[in-house]
Amino acid sequence: MRRSKSVLSTTALLAIIVSLSACQKDSESDVNRAIQEVNAIDESNMSDIMLTVADPQEAVAYFSRSVSEQPDRIDLQRNLARSLIRAKQPREALPVWETVTGHPDATSDDSVDYADALIRVGRWDEAEAILDTVPPTFESYKRYRLEAMVADSNREWDRADAFYETASGMTAKPSGVLNNWGFSKLTRGDFSEAEQLFVSAIRRDPTLFTAKNNLVLARAAQRNYQMPVIDMTQVERAQLLHTAGLSAVKQGDVTLGKGLLQEAIDTHPQHFEAAVRSLRALENNATN
């Protein structure tokens, strides 16, 4: 009887030991899993920082190291390509985007980004071919903006207008695409429509100086050299007067152009070398 109790006690003790061991293993597993999750969060946060606020060249170096250590990870390849674009190195980004789009887990967004990089280096035909591989059911602001630019380059005006209109309706910040659409109209000679699009772009982003300058060009093409009623700094006003002056001279309104250039010089809070050179060149030509 005593022996039976002893055997029972030993069995119970072994069960407790096994249970404790299992608990310890479970605990270690939970700790390891938690560490991995923290590391993943840290890596994700670091990637976000590198792609947004970090120095572009530092981001390129960071993702280059990451790709060399884990070359099979498409997310790291993708981030490297994006960081190269951000660092204004689209040519270097092309082979990386080619690798990304060839990956089994590549997305339509990747193809659109690849097309964007191709456009940045002037390879329009290849960009168009890449966009043609994107399913028509895939809709995004960037896809339609690029489609509009490609149509523009092919002088397919109706298609360009349709894509610009669609793209402008798919973003909360349409100022950039409206400016591009306006410039397209400007190059076609549709000055009045271009003017309206530039005004719309500025209304949505009063800091967009490119649209302000394009607006002055569109008005000047209609021989309207007065400054538009928009928000502008003193420096911007001087620069816009310079643009208007050069446009007036180009269209044969030389005297008016000289007056605008002089006004630009007087308006600028510092020495406006570009306007001074332009006015001096005109005066020298008149003397000769």
| 49-53 contacts, C-beta under 8 A, 24 or more apart | 50/79, 50/83, 51/79, 51/82, 51/83, 51/86
| Res. 254 pLDDT band, cuts 50 70 90 | very high
pLDDT at residue 2 is higher than 50:
no
pLDDT in the model for residue 30: 53
Asked if 220 and 248 touch (Cβ cutoff 8 Å), the reply is yes
Look up residue 134 and give its DSSP letter.
Answer: S
Is-contact 220 244, C-beta < 8 A? Answer: yes
- Give the angle subtended at the CA of 58 by the CAs of 54 and 64, to the nearest 5°: 125
Taking the CA atoms of the chain, what radius of gyration do you get in angstroms? 31
| Euclidean distance between CA atoms 183 and 191, whole angstroms | 9
pLDDT for 190 beyond 50: yes
Instruction: Tell whether the torsion through CA atoms of 116, 121, 127 and 130 is positive or negative.
Output: negative
CATH fold of 42-106 reads 1.25.40
Residue 164's pLDDT is: 98
Which amino acid appears at position 68 of this protein? S
CA–CA dist 32, 227 (Å, integer): 66
Q: Which residue type is seen at 132?
A: D
Binned at pLDDT 50, 70 and 90, residue 185 comes out as very high
For the chain, percent of residues with pLDDT exceeding 90 = 77
pLDDT of amino acid 5: 45
Residues 19-36 as b/e (b if ≥16 CB within 10 A, e otherwise) read eeeeeeeeeeeeeeeeee
Give residue 3's pLDDT.
45
Tell me the whole-structure pTM to 2 decimals. Answer: 0.79
For helices 74-86 and 90-101, the axis angle rounded to 10 degrees is: 160
- Report the C-alpha gap between 11 and 6 in whole angstroms: 9
Where are the chain's structural domains? 42-106
Q: Which of 232, 261, 264, 235 is nearest to 246 (CA)?
A: 261
pLDDT of 38 > 50? The answer is: no
Closest CA to 221 of 254, 189, 182: 189
Residues 6 or more apart whose Cβ sits within 8 Å of residue 119: 127, 146, 149, 150
Query: In this model, does residue 263 exceed pLDDT 70?
Result: yes
Res 174 pLDDT > 50: yes
Is residue 282 within 8 Å of residue 261, measured between CB atoms?
yes
Say if residue 75's pLDDT is above 90.
yes
> What's the mean per-residue pLDDT of the chain?
88
Interval 9-19 mean pLDDT: 49
Identify the H or E element spanning 103: none
Residue 113 is predicted with a pLDDT of 97
High-pLDDT (> 70) share of the chain, %:
84
| Residue 50's pLDDT band (cuts 50, 70, 90) | confident
* Residue 284 reports pLDDT greater than 90: no
